[in-house]
Amino acid sequence: MSRTSTSDFQFKIPIIGDGGVGKTTLTHRYLHGLFKESYHLTIGVDFFLKKLEIDGKKVSLQIWDFAGEEKFRFLLPGVINGANGTIFMFDITRYGSFENLPNWLDVFNKANENHNQAVPALLVGSKTDLAGIRTVPPKEAKEFARDNNFISYIECSSKSGENVEELFKTITKIMMEKVK
């Protein structure tokens, strides 16, 4: 976290999870309020900036949309270095994306240990607009979040916009509290 002349707070937030879970869609919905059915696969990492105000403070978020393919996982420790908060994302309709969270979490925890940092993480289940074909029960996701020290578990839909603003506000408020 750094303070700049235009922002009271500047935070780095990587978004981590398997390919196709909706990381890019979530980012674009949050930044532009738009939903696009498909995006090109992220190669490595994409970087975005969002300025907002929370509790009267100007905040600048650096959102790092990390590629979900395993071949890019070696880049993750560098992306996590200096992070202030992290969003772990899985698709509630693809159980495999939920089952892979421990692999992502392992890299995340080792990187935090190597960089001597403690980064709060939020667990997000995406695609609630497809709840009719859900394969990950909410109870199981909540238990995983609790058992792995996530700050919270939130479900969202980039298509409908459900909880998109809320999940970014949640992680931002946690990061703000951490630096007080």
- What is the reported pLDDT for 4? 47
* Top-level class of domain 9-178: alpha beta
- What is the reported pLDDT for 44? 59
CB 55 within 8 A of CB 176: yes
Q: How far apart are CA 91 and CA 84, in angstroms?
A: 24
Q: State mean pLDDT over 34-41.
A: 65
Write out the DSSP string of the chain: -B--SS-SEEEEEEEE--TTSSHHHHHHHHHHS---S--PPP-SEEEEEEEEEETTEEEEEEEEEE--SGGGGGGHHHHHTT-S-EEEEEETT-HHHHHTHHHHHHHHHHHHHHTT----EEEEEE-GGGGGG--S-HHHHHHHHHHTT-SEEEE--TTT-TTHHHHHHHHHHHHHHHT-
Domain chopping of the chain, boundaries: 9-178
Q: How far apart are CA 69 and CA 42, in angstroms?
A: 9
Q: How far apart are CA 5 and CA 85, in angstroms?
A: 22
Residue 69 has pLDDT above 90, yes or no: no
Residue 5 has pLDDT above 90, yes or no: no
The pLDDT tens digits for 105-162 are 999 999 999 999 999 999 999 999 999 999 999 999 999 999 999 999 999 999 999 9
pTM of the entire predicted model? 0.90
